[in-house]
Chains A and B, each alone.
Chain A
Amino acid sequence: MAKTLFYFIVFPGFLFTALVGLLVSWIDRKVTARVQWRVGPPILQPLYDFVKLLGKETIVPQAGSRLTFLLSPLLGLAAVTIVSTILWLAMASPEVTFLGDLIVVIYLLTIPSISVIIGGFASGNPLASLGASREMKMILAYELPFILAIFTPVIKAHGVIRLGELLRYQWGNGIFLSSWSGFIAFVVAIICMQAKLALVPFDIPEAETEIIAGPYIEYSGAPLAVYKLTRWMMLFVVPIFLVIMFMGGIVFSGWHILWGILKYVLLLVLIILIRNTNPRLRIDQAIKFFWGPMTILAVMGIILAFLGI
């Protein structure tokens, strides 16, 4: 029992993910600043932001629903914490994972978006409702190609839905990314991840220039801090999920740890560069993009995987 609590609260659960999330969001802001030829914020900046938000007044709008408004941020935070715990335990000891944890992870990765939707609708603000409805459309759009892309490694590993066995299959037979079907699925998964993280080509739900901050518009103080933390943790957890699915995860022995971290950092920098070199799409363009080209690509990946390429 104490061990389980330790896993969930300290390592690799909440505390570890939160600290790495703070660091990762600093990398995000620093690389963005360098791309724009600026100096960028100091390394402790996300921590200052977080502590400052905790110290501010929390305002609940009169038109909103008080309980839902205050509880929905915690929903997303809990989901990300559990996903992080499952993923890191799968990498640390592949034998102890349970059957179907892949499906659990895919479900739990949707919960942060759902918590944003609930929070947005509970705010009682028209712009927040608009942002929440856009977030809903985005989930409908990107979940289909994302799940199809995740099917490809499962098919290549002969129908295994256990993260530990997927990892051991890759350690034995080479990573999925090195095959054509794996590569196609990986490209689709990266673009869906960009939408999952609500980063720039697909930051339609919180489009700053149109609907200000979307679902977050009425949040202030501690609930806003929790939302920010959830987003930073997602920026850490979702790429790690892709590293596990396509790039063989992180092996906990000697130099392999550094190699694993390098894989993650490469993926992160790729996300940041996509984010900094693209304009924002409209919601209808995004849905057409995901249900059209992305779904077709993902299905092609699946067919290639069945053919064994």
Chain B
Amino acid sequence: MTESTTPLIRLVNISRVYRTETLETHALSNINLEIYRGEYVTIEGPSGSGKSTLLTLLGLLDVPTSGEYELAGVPVAKIDAEERARLRNREIGFVFQAFNLIPEMTVAENVGVPLLYRAGVTAAEQKAAVAAALERVGMTARAEHRPSQLSGGQQQRVAVARAIVGKPSLILADEPTGNLDQENGDQIMDLLDELHRDGATLVTVTHNPRYAERAERRFWMLDGRLEERAARAA
């Protein structure tokens, strides 16, 4: 479901090396990747293959050791941490395996967190956006609950609502079903499918081939190298 000829994500010869005094680990080696707006991409691979490292690079949570990365046409290597944060806030929504909700906040407050860091958003706008996101994931009734009062599936729905509340260009999901049972996992993946159908660009990391099959493009990672498998027939 390609919508544009300009890639939303463009990686050229990206490498990420972790160095200690005695050891050099090549987490990513010469990754080349282009993802277009509206695409649904999944990355599979064994543990330690570099999937999550790639996702954190895509999410601007880390910087490559070498290579070029452009997000929405912006070369991210040339921008500072503040600008990366601003870009991350506007363009990227994260869904984590461990949900990463803040326990002291209510569901609504958790969902509204990204908007706290976006300039010019009024309280009313924030409230409306949070309500819409919660409705989108079916969690309106739980808005005033604390995360500890929710099941794992519900917590991940809240995490998804938080990821979409700022209407980002890209949603990155790192093993979003890893901490869920099959039923809840299916529901979360159905939710992500719906978001994709509504136009979201989606990149997920998963171990589960059944969920990987839902993507339009499937990539395989091994020892820090990325290889695209056959794309699913549209």
A binds B: no
Residues of A within 8 A of B (CB): none
